[in-house]
């Protein structure tokens, strides 16, 4: 097995640059598709494409830089990053800017930074480090400790209020626990608890969040108001059919019936223009990236790397599932972008840093003494 691993690791220049070729190739392909859809969704806006290209370039650069950092270093940084992240969340809570009607941004003078994005990485890193310091599967007190470590940032983010991000952080933590091997009984218990907490959660939701859930259940009750997004995106996708209307031929998006068509609802543009066939191909590409991530996790040697890569991979999957599920009307509207395709830079950076970590782990195996 050890021999196999050594053979499998990428040799030569790419190995020394800590690049995983299949992953890089898949990501580049995805970004190309993303830019093509975005070009249509923005109605050939060269300006927006330029900006997105710049962001992609920066994000890819960041990914390659992160890939150079050894997993060991990452492990050491886990605690400080987590602590800094939580402090920033508290700072947002106290002095946070008002951005988009909710306190999410922290103005650091030169750049405005969204601390909750950092936590998407810092929470799985912290949990992975926490579990790696003990044995697997984790003991009950450790599981409890992990829950506390997760609850603090999740609740702080939910208070901003940013339900989407807090759910993403929560799911990243959940995946870490799952991969750490907690017993199925415990998993069943958690799911039951979450299920029974739902009505309680309803009380804590903001009006607009409740509205979204209600609209998800019955979009036709307010077709021109809150239900508009859901209805228009389903019209876009449904009218696309099997083969789609063709690139630039989507009437729902080009005639501006579809709101947020370049950001959260870009999947509807894709579905309208490329049809079921296009979507199946796109989801296959996503699935290949997820499988590659899980493969890297399974092949990595230490608990920290495994848990972290596994969690980040599944976080990437949750992004895709929540976004597509929302656009096709399976899930309520939550502000989660379609990774690497939606216009915007915030989550792009987080995701690409995650892939940087995966590459770091994958290419670092050789040097690990096992």
Per CB under 8 A, residues contacting another protein are 135-137, 139-140, 175, 178-179, 181, 183, 232, 234-242, 251-252, 255-257, 271, 275-276, 279-280, 283, 286-287, 290-291, 294, 297-298, 303, 306, 310, 313-314, 317, 320-321, 324-325, 328-330
φ, ψ for residue 338 (rounded to 5)? Answer: -85, 115
- Name which of 164 and 278 has its Cβ closer to another protein: 278
Q: How far apart are CA 318 and CA 310, in angstroms?
A: 12
Minimum CB distance to another protein, residue 224 (Å) = 10
- Name which of 157 and 279 has its Cβ closer to another protein: 279
Q: What's the distance, Cα to Cα, between the start and end of the chain in Å?
A: 11
- Name which of 119 and 318 has its Cβ closer to another protein: 318
Minimum CB distance to another protein, residue 26 (Å) = 15
Minimum CB distance to another protein, residue 235 (Å) = 5
- Name which of 41 and 156 has its Cβ closer to another protein: 41
**Helix locations, the chain, DSSP H:** 2-8, 12-16, 21-41, 46-68, 71-95, 115-132, 140-158, 163-180, 184-204, 207-217, 228-240, 251-254, 266-299, 303-327, 346-364
What is the four-CA torsion angle of 104, 315, 35, 56, rounded to 10 degrees?
70
Minimum CB distance to another protein, residue 96 (Å) = 30
Helix (H, G, I), strand (E, B) or coil at 159: coil
Q: DSSP letters along 198-260, please?
A: HHHHHHHS-HHHHHHHHHHH-GGGSTTTTTHHHHHHHHHHHHHTTT-S-TT--HHHHTT-STT
State both tokens at 341. Answer: 């395709």
Cβ atoms within 10 Å of 115's Cβ, excluding its own: 26
- Name which of 118 and 258 has its Cβ closer to another protein: 258
φ, ψ for residue 133 (rounded to 5)? Answer: -75, -10
Minimum CB distance to another protein, residue 245 (Å) = 9
DSSP 41: H
Q: How far apart are CA 259 and CA 262, in angstroms?
A: 8
Minimum CB distance to another protein, residue 301 (Å) = 9
Q: How far apart are CA 193 and CA 114, in angstroms?
A: 30
- Name which of 48 and 328 has its Cβ closer to another protein: 328
- Name which of 137 and 335 has its Cβ closer to another protein: 137
Minimum CB distance to another protein, residue 322 (Å) = 10
Minimum CB distance to another protein, residue 178 (Å) = 6
Minimum CB distance to another protein, residue 324 (Å) = 5
- Name which of 149 and 235 has its Cβ closer to another protein: 235
Q: How far apart are CA 355 and CA 21, in angstroms?
A: 12
The owner of tokens 């993303």 is 34
- Name which of 101 and 141 has its Cβ closer to another protein: 141
């Amino acid at each position: 097995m050890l021999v196999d691993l050594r053979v499998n690791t990428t040799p030569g220049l790419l190995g020394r640059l800590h690049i995983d070729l299949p992953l890089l190739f898949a990501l580049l392909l995805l970004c190309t598709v993303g830019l093509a859809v975005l070009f249509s969704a923005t109605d050939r806006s060269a300006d927006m494409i330029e900006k997105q290209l710049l962001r992609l370039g920066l994000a890819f650069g960041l990914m390659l830089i992160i890939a150079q950092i050894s997993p060991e270093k990452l492990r050491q940084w886990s605690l400080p990053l987590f602590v800094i992240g939580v402090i920033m969340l508290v700072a947002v809570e106290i002095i946070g800017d008002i951005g988009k009607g909710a306190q999410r941004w922290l103005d650091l003078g030169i750049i405005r930074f969204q601390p909750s994005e950092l936590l998407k990485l810092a929470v799985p890193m912290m949990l992975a480090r926490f579990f790696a310091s003990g044995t697997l599967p984790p003991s009950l007190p450790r599981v409890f400790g992990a829950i506390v470590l997760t609850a603090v940032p999740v609740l702080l983010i939910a208070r901003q209020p940013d339900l989407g991000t807090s759910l993403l952080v929560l799911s990243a933590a959940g995946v870490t626990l799952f991969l750490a091997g907690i017993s199925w009984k415990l998993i069943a218990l958690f799911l039951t608890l979450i299920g029974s907490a739902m009505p309680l959660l309803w009380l804590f939701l903001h009006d607009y969040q409740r509205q979204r859930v209600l609209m998800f259940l019955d979009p036709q009750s307010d077709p021109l108001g809150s239900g508009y997004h859901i209805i228009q995106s389903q019209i876009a996708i449904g009218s696309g059919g099997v083969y789609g209307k063709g690139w630039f031929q989507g009437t729902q998006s080009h005639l501006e019936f579809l709101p947020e068509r370049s950001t959260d609802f870009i999947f509807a543009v894709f579905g309208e223009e490329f049809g079921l066939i296009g979507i199946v191909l796109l989801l296959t590409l996503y699935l290949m990236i997820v499988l590659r991530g899980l493969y890297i996790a399974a092949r990595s040697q230490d608990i920290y790397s495994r848990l972290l890569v596994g969690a980040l991979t599944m976080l990437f999957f949750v992004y895709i599932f929540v976004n597509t599920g929302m656009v096709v009307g399976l899930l309520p509207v939550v502000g989660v972008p379609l990774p690497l395709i939606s216009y915007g830079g915030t989550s792009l950076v987080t995701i690409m840093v995650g892939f940087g970590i995966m590459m770091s782990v994958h290419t670092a195996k050789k040097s690990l003494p096992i």
